[in-house]
Amino acid sequence: MAGRLSIAIVLLAVLLGYVYNVFLQRFIQVSGIFREPGSTELAPGEFVVVNGTIGCEDLHLHEPSGLLFTACEDDVASRRKWFPPIEHFANPSTERMKGKLEVIDPKTFEAKVLELEGFSGPFVTHGIDVIDDPDRPQGEAVYIFAVNHKPNPEHYGENGDAKAPKSHSVVELFHHAIGSSTARHVRTIWHPLIVTPNDIFAESPTSFFVTNDYYYTEGLLRTIETVFSMAGWTNVVHVRLENPGSAEDGDGDSAGVHASIALEKLHNLNGLGHGGGGQGEILVTSCSSGLLHVGEVVGEADTGKKVIRVKEVIEFASPVDNPSYFRDPYANGTFDASGIVSSGPTRGIDFLESKGKEFVLDPNMVWKATPKSGKKEKEGDGERDGTVAGGGKNWDVSLLFEDDGRRLRTSSASVLVAIDPNEEGGRRRAWLFLTGYQASNVIAVKVDL
């Protein structure tokens, strides 16, 4: 039984590969079909489990406060029962959908669950973004945007329509004063262009980008879409709110919500991150293609619409999920460890077989892309379709950490927190915080930079 699905996928890939050889080479590399899981050795005390952080898909460092923010689940079984992003629709019962927002102190490795004010769920968490409240001194308060995959009452309700989408996926906006134990629900945001939301990049409390990670939500076409990197069927949507509004307004999820396509015709657009090249630099991954697009936000002055212009593409050797930018606070003239961190499965090929299992090892690889010193080459538009090998001529990609699945099940986000070299006898080291949508906990491991 086991293996039948991946054999089918391989046959499919080989067939497509005859048509397009570059695709086949990349498929072999990124899917990990011939790759044995590895496991980075760690000294005692260099591996910490952050308790009370179940199935957190995304993780963000809020630099002004030095705190990590994440959105988690209530139970390790949740993602198997209901999680539309991986085609799990078995149990749409909303009572148990009790996702959480949590704050992790990277110094104590303790996680605090934020009490949600004015919000009672259901809450099925996925990507988040955290930005400073522009009306308060920096670091005092934040807005948290969080994807929420609620079951669609039009599908599951009394006179449910089987043709209606199973998930009514929305974005929740919260406000949190740093140090407090609560997050106040500001409003729910929905627009017909938000279909399969995965991750968020917020510019301000009233402007954000959200990826739709798939065109097909289920079935064979969805599998083809996952495997076939030429299936450039996904997009990033730019959303503008007339005002952040208030949950009490009671005028619906789509009140004052305007949306337009910001980036499209790319494969499996998934994770979003803020880049290192200033305010408007945006990182967008094509997850199962193992590509990261470095883009810039370009505004149209007359309409207020914003689009993403891809500047270059970085190739990774595995699928890559949510990217994060590490800004090295201890950089000096000769050593700067700043770069982009992103992680994904060692054997993406096993994804479909493993995701529904209670006990399985899902090995992971964490990559770091650092700008090549000196030369900076301009790259052509040919890389936009993600098929040209050699994308990312300006970046060195190296393996930062790997796990065979025993310490972490799945890895969807990874964030570096630098350690003061004085505490490490002058060595440049960092805590790497890792999390996965099917992980039982966030973990932290000490790595060399």
Find the radius of gyration of the CA atoms of the chain. Answer: 21
Nearer to ligand NAG, 53 or 188 (CB): 53
Binding segment toward ligand NAG, per CB under 6 A, in 42-50, 135-143, 226-234, 280-288: 42-50
- Residue 301's alpha-carbon distances to 205, 283, 298, 304, 306, in angstroms, are 19, 23, 9, 6, 9
* Footprint (CB under 6 A) of ligand NAG, residues 181-210: none
Binding segment toward ligand NAG, per CB under 6 A, in 7-15, 330-338, 369-377, 403-411: 330-338
Beta partners for residue 312, in sequence order: 294
CA 47/CA 66 separation, integer angstroms: 20
Binding segment toward ligand NAG, per CB under 6 A, in 47-55, 182-190, 275-283, 315-323: 47-55
Nearer to ligand NAG, 70 or 346 (CB): 70
Cβ atoms 71, 101 nearer than 8 A: yes
Choosing from 44, 45, 137, 333, the residue that interacts with ligand NAG (CB under 6 A) is 333
Nearer to ligand NAG, 89 or 330 (CB): 330
> Which position has the token pair 């973004």?
129
| Residue 48 sits in the site that holds ligand NAG (CB under 6 A) | yes
Choosing from 14, 22, 51, 382, the residue that interacts with ligand NAG (CB under 6 A) is 51
Token digits for 220? Answer: 């064979």
Cβ atoms 210, 199 nearer than 8 A: yes
Nearer to ligand NAG, 328 or 350 (CB): 328
Nearer to ligand NAG, 333 or 374 (CB): 333
Residues 404-443 vs ligand NAG: string with x where CB under 6 A? -----------------x------x---------------
CB of 373 to ligand NAG, least distance (A): 14
Cβ atoms 112, 179 nearer than 8 A: no
Binding segment toward ligand NAG, per CB under 6 A, in 49-57, 309-317, 321-329, 412-420: 49-57
| Residue 109 sits in the site that holds ligand NAG (CB under 6 A) | yes
**What is the DSSP track for 187-209?**
EEE--TT-SSEEEEEEEETTEEE
Beta partners for residue 123, in sequence order: 98
CB of 263 to ligand NAG, least distance (A): 37
Binding segment toward ligand NAG, per CB under 6 A, in 44-52, 146-154, 260-268, 306-314: 44-52
- Residue 208's alpha-carbon distances to 180, 244, 257, 259, 354, in angstroms, are 25, 12, 11, 10, 33
Nearer to ligand NAG, 88 or 428 (CB): 428
| Residue 276 sits in the site that holds ligand NAG (CB under 6 A) | no
Choosing from 16, 28, 49, 247, the residue that interacts with ligand NAG (CB under 6 A) is 49
Task: Report helix, strand or coil for 338.
Answer: coil
Cβ atoms 150, 124 nearer than 8 A: yes
CA 412/CA 426 separation, integer angstroms: 31
| Residue 47 sits in the site that holds ligand NAG (CB under 6 A) | no
Task: Report helix, strand or coil for 360.
Answer: coil
| Residue 113 sits in the site that holds ligand NAG (CB under 6 A) | no
CB of 135 to ligand NAG, least distance (A): 35
> Which position has the token pair 């959908």?
97
- In this structure, the number of other CB atoms found within 10 A of the CB of residue 160 comes to 13
Beta partners for residue 132, in sequence order: 142
| Residue 332 sits in the site that holds ligand NAG (CB under 6 A) | yes
Instruction: Give the footprint of ligand NAG on this chain (CB under 6 A).
Output: 48-51, 109, 332-335, 421, 428
